[in-house]
Each structure stands twice: as C-alpha cells, then as structure tokens.
C-alpha cells in the first residue's frame, strides 16, 4: 500500500479516472473530502483517530519523514525477508516458493523463553510458510485457504472452516482478508499467542487489477480489521494494556497517477513505505514530522527491543527505535 493514501487519503487524479475507478459516484461518497485530513480519516479512521493520538505514524514524505525498503526489488518476498531478518539479501529477488535460508526474528523468538512455541501467523498469501520457513522454524503459519486443523475446534472454527472450504476462488493463492482475520481471531482467543503476525493482501491484489476503488475499499477494510483486533485483544485479560501493534507494508507502489498500480525494480516510488505503531513501549508522538530516513531493515531490531531481546544472531540491536538522536519512539 502506498504512503500517499495513508497520509493524504484518496488521490483525486486517480479517483476521477474512470479507467481505474469503476464506480466513481460511490467512491467519491466513501472516500473523498475537501482536504487531505478529512480524506485520510475517511479512509483509515482508526489509524488517524487512535494510532495518531496514542502512537506514532512514520513515512509522510511531505514532511521529509521517509521510510524505504533496502532491497532493490520492491516486491513482496524480498520485502518481508528484510522486515523479519533485519537485512536485505540481494539473492532473495523473487516471490518463488523457496524456503527462506535466513533465520527470522520470529523464528528466533519461537525458540527462546518466554516466547517458545507461542509464535503464530495468519496470512492471506500462501507464500508465507516459505518466507517464515514453517518447516524449520516450527511457527504455525495458517495461510491461503488453509483450514483450521486439530480435533478440539470451537463451533466458530468449524463454521469458518466450512466457509473457507467453500469460498469463491478457494484454489487461488490469496485468501480474502476478512476471512483470514476472522479465523485469526478465533485462533487468538483459543491459543493466546505471545507473538502474532497477521498479513493482509487486499490492497496489493486490487492494485494489480488496476482497480482503484477496490484498492481504497481494501485499505479501509484493513483499518477496520486492525481496529477490531486492537479492541478485541484489549478486552482479554492476558493482553490488556500489555500489547504492541507494529503496522507496516512490504513495499510501496508507483508514485504517479499512471503508475500507482505498479511496483518492482524499475517503478519510481515502489520502495517508499511507512510504519505505524501503538501500544506498550511506544511513545505517543503522533505523525512523525522530522526529516529522517528510515529503512525497513530496522524493524527487526525495533521488535527485538519491544520483546526484550537485545541480541539476535550475534548482532546488537538498537537501544531504541531507529537510533533517532532526539526522539525515542520506542521507550528504552
């Protein structure tokens, strides 16, 4: 998802292009406003009414706050690899289903106390078992249209399995985000993992379809999912006031109205990303407006600090978020 929609809401040049916007009247009603503050709050109300008030949002390039992938490819597997390992590998260059040779921070956490066997992931895209190397890491990765497994399923899990198995396009590599989320909620309720990764894919899917109103709809859905998940876990005694959400994207998209749907090595703007954080250990800075350059490779270290892990693969982690000299985004 592009930083432009996150920080400025719907792009009028794209929204008013009927080639990209299939239902213009409905899209304007749902996403358009007189100024960018109104537009971005209409698109992602939880991010701008809650996260901006109690957390931090980084990557508004209009203020000089920049976040970029370090890998040069600007596609998904290389992006997720650098998020979870803290390094960009030039040999990780495709989205092919190859088991990741690198140990991710999630894998490391899954083998140490107090997180041992308490790390899980629910993902819409079916490549994540390879990115997180489920076979080696022993992280449970429910992905694509994979059903719940096990004998003692709740009534809701049985029902969601039926929906999952009968879903339209159930043979596709990417599950509907809402179904991924509903299944994830039941897993969290039943298993109460300490580290949980939820990966959505709707904005990328509709971007590739050159469907801008669908892309905006999926961005708004992602905001509702994040909001629902936040209040859901806050209602549980095991998590209440002791959780942190790190919200980000694997890559950006083209920065121009005629390239917004593209991403990849040759697409200007595709390496531009953003990060939002809220919860325990995060200072309430709001919209980050300092002129700083951040890299996605720094997220693994940041999560390491938040989880109390100060060494990972024999590398030192930053003492605080991105080593910002004047602003501690994450509390030491």
The pLDDT assigned to 315 comes to 54
- Each residue's pLDDT tens digit, 95-114: 999 999 999 999 999 999 99
- Asked if the model's pLDDT at residue 234 lies above 80, the reply is yes
The pLDDT assigned to 253 comes to 98
The pLDDT assigned to 306 comes to 86
What's the burial of 25, exposed, middle or buried (CB within 10 Å: 0-12/13-18/19+)? exposed
- Each residue's pLDDT tens digit, 262-319: 999 999 999 999 999 999 989 899 999 989 899 999 888 888 888 888 655 545 544 3
What's the CATH fold of domain 3-323?
Alkaline Phosphatase, subunit A (3.40.720)
The pLDDT assigned to 321 comes to 36
Higher pLDDT, 215 or 328: 215
The CB density around residue 19, as the number of other CB atoms within 10 Å, is 9
Residues in the chain: 332
- Each residue's pLDDT tens digit, 146-164: 999 888 899 999 999 999 9
- Each residue's pLDDT tens digit, 191-231: 999 999 999 999 999 999 999 999 999 999 999 999 999 99
- Asked if the model's pLDDT at residue 31 lies above 70, the reply is yes
Pair of tokens at residue 142: 């429910």
Please report the DSSP string for 260-291 in residue order: TT--STT-TTTTEE-EEEEETTB---EE--S-
Q: For residue 197, give the H/E element and its range.
A: strand 195-199
For the segment 79-107, the average pLDDT, to the nearest whole number, is: 94
The pLDDT assigned to 325 comes to 30
- Each residue's pLDDT tens digit, 168-187: 777 788 999 999 999 999 99
- Asked if the model's pLDDT at residue 23 lies above 90, the reply is yes
The pLDDT assigned to 313 comes to 56
| Spatial separation of the C-alpha atoms in residues 332 and 142, rounded to whole Å | 33
Pair of tokens at residue 169: 């396009």
Strand partners, 286: 56
Averaged pLDDT of the chain: 92
Buried b (16+ CB within 10 A) or exposed e, 172-200: eebbbbebbbbbbbbbbeeeebbbbbbbb
What beta strand segments (E) does 36-175 contain? 56-58, 65-68, 119-123, 140-143
């Amino acid at each position: 998802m592009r930083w432009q929609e996150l920080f400025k809401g719907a792009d009028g040049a794209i929204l008013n292009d009927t080639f990209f916007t299939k239902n213009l009247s409905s899209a304007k009603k749902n996403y358009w406003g007189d100024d960018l503050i109104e537009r971005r709050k209409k698109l992602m109300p939880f991010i701008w009414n809650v996260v901006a008030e109690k957390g931090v949002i980084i990557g508004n390039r209009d203020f000089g706050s920049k976040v970029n992938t370090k890998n040069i490819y600007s596609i998904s597997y290389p992006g997720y690899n650098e998020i979870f390992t803290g390094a960009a590998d030039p040999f990780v260059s495709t989205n092919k289903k190859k088991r990741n040779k690198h140990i991710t921070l999630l894998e490391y956490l899954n083998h140490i106390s107090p997180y041992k066997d308490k790390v899980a992931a629910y993902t819409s895209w079916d490549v994540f078992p390879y990115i997180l190397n489920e076979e080696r890491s022993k992280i449970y990765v429910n992905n694509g249209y994979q059903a719940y497994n096990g004998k003692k399923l709740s009534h809701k899990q049985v029902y969601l399995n039926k929906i999952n198995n009968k879903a339209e396009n159930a043979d596709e590599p990417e599950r509907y985000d809402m179904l991924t989320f509903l299944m994830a909620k039941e897993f969290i309720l039943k298993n109460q993992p300490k580290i949980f990764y939820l990966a959505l894919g709707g904005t990328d899917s509709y971007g590739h379809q050159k469907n801008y109103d669908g892309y905006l709809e999926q961005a708004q859905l992602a905001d509702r999912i994040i909001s629902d998940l936040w209040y859901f876990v806050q209602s549980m005694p095991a998590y209440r006031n002791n959780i942190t959400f790190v919200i980000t994207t694997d890559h950006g998209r083209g920065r121009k109205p005629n390239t917004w749907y593209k991403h990849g090595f040759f697409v200007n703007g595709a390496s531009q990303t953003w990060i939002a954080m809220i919860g325990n250990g995060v200072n309430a800075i709001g919209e980050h407006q300092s002129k700083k350059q951040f890299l996605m490779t720094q997220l693994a270290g940041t999560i390491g600090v938040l989880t109390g892990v100060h060494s990972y693969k024999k590398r030192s982690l930053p003492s605080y978020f991105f080593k910002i000299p004047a602003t501690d985004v994450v509390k030491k």
